[in-house]
A = this chain, B = another copy of it.
Amino acid sequence: MRACATTGVVAAWNRTLKKTSHSFSAASSSCALLGPNRPDVWVLRENTFPYNHFQESLQCANGHNAAILEGKSIAKQIKFKVADEISRIKSCMGKFPRLGVVLVGDRRDSHTFIHIKLKACDQVGIETVVAQLPEKCTENELLGAVSRFNDDPDLHGIIVQLPLPQHLDEEKVINVVSPEKDVDGFHPLNMGNLAIRGRKPFFIPCAPKGCIELLLRHGVEITGKRAVIIGRSKIAGLPTSLLLQRHHATVSMLHAYTKNPEQITSEADIVVADVGFPNMVRGNWLKQGAVVIDMGANQVKDPSSQGFCVTGDVCFEEAVKVASAITPVPGGIGPITISMLLSNTLDSAKHAFGMV
């Protein structure tokens, strides 16, 4: 077994929280009631989980390996279905979905993600329009680009690749995206409609939607199960918690201020990791037979080469011996997330075409 590498003891999770223009509850009392804005800084208590102890505890396990909740083939099926539907729409109506992509700056990871998304769109017949802005663009230039996409009646979806450079107000930009074209599902109106049972958001964020898709397709029962979400990003952890609640799981949200994440996680039937820190969730955090969804995609140095490899938030080699089912990284949630973006864009186009 390969030991799980943790690249440090403290992982700073630096999602800077900014002001939003959708606000006037600026009275100090309201601010206090909304709670202090604090970054999530995960402190890994390595002493709590000495490796030898873990190896011992593994010997008590039943020796079976978990089923692998493989995402690639499901993503392929979804992409095939989307492509087929687009092809039929094109034949019948001469129309097709179009996605607007806003990309700011030169971050290598952002360019990689956009490249993957553009390629996937191309494969299924979604036309893409990219607004590429320089790292030092002004907020007005960025808002202008989003507004032009909003105003284009032949454009059905808009994504703004995150994170944005520090000088740009991410929440303000998301506010400007039309909720009806917000195929990432990050607009607060969509998030609110996801949170309130019985309501339907225009779009569900792609990674959480992919997570549920994966669970449902693999026949994992959700209703009545205890689910633990480790991490609370607006992209993954938060909307996944809301979605699992809508499926009637009993959901606990863990974060960097949780005092005993290992103990709470060990009670869960379904564990979703969204911490952004490689291998943080160890095998002995898990209940025997838990279903593990790893939403992490961390670039770490590959000890076997000079390059980098992608690893999840869960120590796969340990978890696979305890869980009943687990998503791999790469090849788990990632591909499904992309297919959900395609599916959301198609849904939006169908609405624009008067088909739903």
Q: Which candidate, A60-68, A134-142, A238-246, is the interface stretch facing chain B?
A: A238-246
Pair A223/B187 contact, Cβ less than 8 Å: no
The verdict on A32 contacting B216 (CB below 8 Å), with A27-B350, A38-B248, A197-B17 known, is yes
Residues from chain B with a CB closer than 8 A to the CB of A343 are: 29
- Pick the residue among B19, B34, B212 that contacts A204 (CB under 8 A): B34
Bound state CA distance, A32 and B204, in angstroms?
12
Q: How large is the interface on A (under 10, 10 to 19, 20 to 34, 35 or more residues)?
A: 35 or more
Shortest beta-carbon distance from A326 to chain B in Å? 21
Which of A253-261, A277-285, A299-307 participates in binding chain B? A253-261
Is A292 among interface residues, defined by CB-CB distance under 8 A?
no
B351 touching A200, Cβ below 8 Å: no
For the complex, what is the distance from the CA of A25 to the CA of B185, rounded to whole Å? 12
Binary CB contact string for chain A from 64 to 106 against chain B (1 if under 8 A, 0 otherwise):
0000000000000000000000000000000000000000000
Question: Which residues on the B side are within 8 Å of A18 (C-beta)?
Answer: 198
Contact of A243 among B35, B216, B222 (CB under 8 A): B35
Kindly supply a per-residue 1/0 record for chain A positions 41-55, scoring 1 wherever the CB is within 8 Å of any chain B CB and 0 otherwise.
000000000000000
Cα A173 to Cα B228 with chains together (Å)? 34
Residue of A38, A199, A257 contacting most chain B CB atoms (<10 Å): A199
Contact between B248 and A250, CB atoms less than 8 A apart: no
Question: Which of B199, B248, B351 is the one whose CB lies under 8 Å from A255?
Answer: B248
Closest residue to A204 on the B side, CB-wise? Answer: B33
Binding stretch for chain B, among A116-124, A188-196, A314-322: A188-196
Q: List 28 A-B contacts (CB under 8 A).
A: A17-B197, A20-B198, A20-B200, A22-B189, A22-B202, A23-B200, A24-B356, A25-B203, A25-B347, A26-B200, A27-B350, A34-B200, A35-B212, A35-B248, A37-B197, A187-B192, A188-B195, A191-B192, A192-B192, A192-B194, A196-B234, A197-B232, A223-B257, A226-B259, A232-B245, A248-B257, A250-B253, A252-B253
